[in-house]
Structure 1
Amino acid sequence: MSLFSWLRPATPLLAEDLQLRLQRLPLGAELRECSLREQRWVVLDLETTGLNLNKDRVLSIGAVVIEDGAIDFSQQFERTLQCVDMKLAPSMLIHGLGPSAIAAGSDPAEALLEFMEFLGDSPVLAFHAPFDQHMLGRALKDHLGYKLQHPFLDVADIAPLLCPQANIREAGLDEWIDWFKLEVFERHNASADALATAELALILFSRARQQQIHSPLNLQQRISQWKRRQRAPSF
């Protein structure tokens, strides 16, 4: 065994049926010029052991689908990932997932594979998407040896881009919920937060169309332009 083999992370050993399902997963499609309404979106939220991108782990996955311009309640996903060595952490006070619930959760490889099958080739919407994208990507690599390549759009960028009059660029999900006066009866678990994000996204898609942003690709381009302007030095 070479020295470098010790430095490379081990490829997960998967049962044959999981390997076959993994091979059948579609690749994430690039954002298209179709209308925002025509695009199937998967709105994702993760609960994690903490906010450390390199050490913390995914505890639960919640997702809902936006399709044909509405939330499709027949397409929802929720899984708690098993973690037998889970210890009490401050994040438990927020998401409420205790050690017993996590110990009784789904096998991580199975749960993650089921989510990717649910996701298909759809793009992902999330609030503070870079965090969810990184944490999901790391979990997929660790448990399945899979490289996440789906496009993610950040609702935390879309909201201030389309609603500059709100003047709450650094706001969290709660602040945008309050600003739009959305009635959200549950928060701080993955499924509830995914649903709240989806409701916010639908309002923002309506604002986007009013501002002549009609396609997912166009929306992505406008976000990139807006972020460049935000980073530009002011004189």
Structure 2
Amino acid sequence: MFYFLVAWLQNHLLRLHLKNRPVSPVGRENLRALDHLSLFQPARSYSYVVVDLETTGLEVKTDRVLSIGAFRIKSGRIRMGDMFNIFVNPERDIPSAAIKVHGIVPDMVKNAATAGKALDEFLMFLGHDIMVAHQAAFDLAFINRIMSEHHGFELQNMVVDTVPLCQQVILPQFYTPMRRHKRLFAGRFGHIPMQKNDQHSLDHIANHLGIQIYQRHTALGDALAAAMIFQRALSRMEKAGQGKLVHLVNAGAL
């Protein structure tokens, strides 16, 4: 709950600061992303966008986004026809080590949208929905950098990380929780403190739940796997009598 109150206060202070300043329509709409949220409503009553990014590397200050994939969840169901998938032109070389991971080669992105345009398309898809990601600090840090460069402020949507959520709901006996302040400030100094334990990985959790990951290390494939994991976690929370948004915030919000 404290997280939400801080986020709400920061959002309103930002809106006051920008009130008489030029902000793009997309940016202005993002400033309202928290307005509809009520902590004591069922978490299932809200819409979620589960996202994954593929990048040229792990360094927020120097690496670039190559693709964004996302699925929407409404009423607890993944809407397979309601997806987002876009390549992004990094406007620089793609390291061979990165190509070996995700298979994105220069020809695939040379005519793609630049980061700012791709982000605006994603923001229009995201709307006011709650953003969800696995190892969300990674994705959020890249999104926030592009947001800051093109709109002058960071993403205002609530963000849920499936890693701490799984720590509490899926496999609590196996995890050493990552403290919220470490997740919150992830990426501020240019490098993402990714959790190295295999038990935090998308593969490990998906395997435990019997979820098959299609097209691993593609933005859309990983986003779908994360969406299925989030769907299972939300269901388990409800069965445990913790189905309110406040429970989700306490378990996994950044």
TM-score by length of 1: 0.80
Distance 1:65 1:80, change over 3 A: same
**Could you tell me whether the CA contact under 8 Å between 1:86 and 1:102 is conserved in 2?**
no
CA-to-aligned-CA distance 1:27-64 (integer Å, 9 cap, x gap): 22165322122110010101111111222111111111
Q: Which residue matches 1:195?
A: 224
Q: Distance in 2 between matches of 1:71 and 1:49?
A: 28
Residue 142 of structure 1: CA displacement?
A: 2.0
Partner of 2:78: 71
1:136 has 2:165 as partner: no
Partner of 1:218: 247
| SS state at 2:46 partner | coil
SS at match of 1:90: helix
Report if the CA contact (8 A) 2:69-2:219 is conserved.
yes
User: Deviation per CA, 1:65-84, whole angstroms, max 9, x where unpaired?
Assistant: 00011001221101111123
User: In terms of mean alpha carbon deviation, does 136-145 or 206-215 score higher?
Assistant: 136-145
- Per-residue deviation, 1:20: 4.1
- Give the Cα–Cα distance (whole angstroms) in 2 for the partners of residues 203 and 166 of structure 1: 17
Give the greater-gyration-radius structure (CA): 1
Q: Matches of 1:56 and 1:43 in 2, distance apart?
A: 22
Identical counterparts, % of pairs = 27
The residue correspondences of 1:56-205 to structure 2 (distance < 5 A) are 56-164=63-171, 167-168=174-175, 170=197, 171=199, 172-205=201-234
Q: Which runs of 5+ in 2 are unaligned?
A: 1-21, 177-196
What displacement does 1:202 show? 0.7
Q: Between Structure 1 and Structure 2, how many residues are aligned?
A: 209
Cα shift at 1:201: 0.8
Shift of 1:21: 4.2
> If the length of structure 2 is used for normalisation, what is the TM-score?
0.75
The one-letter amino acid of 1:159's match is C
Q: Which moved more, 1:99-108 or 1:188-197?
A: 99-108
Q: Which runs of 5+ in 1 are unaligned?
A: 1-15, 228-235
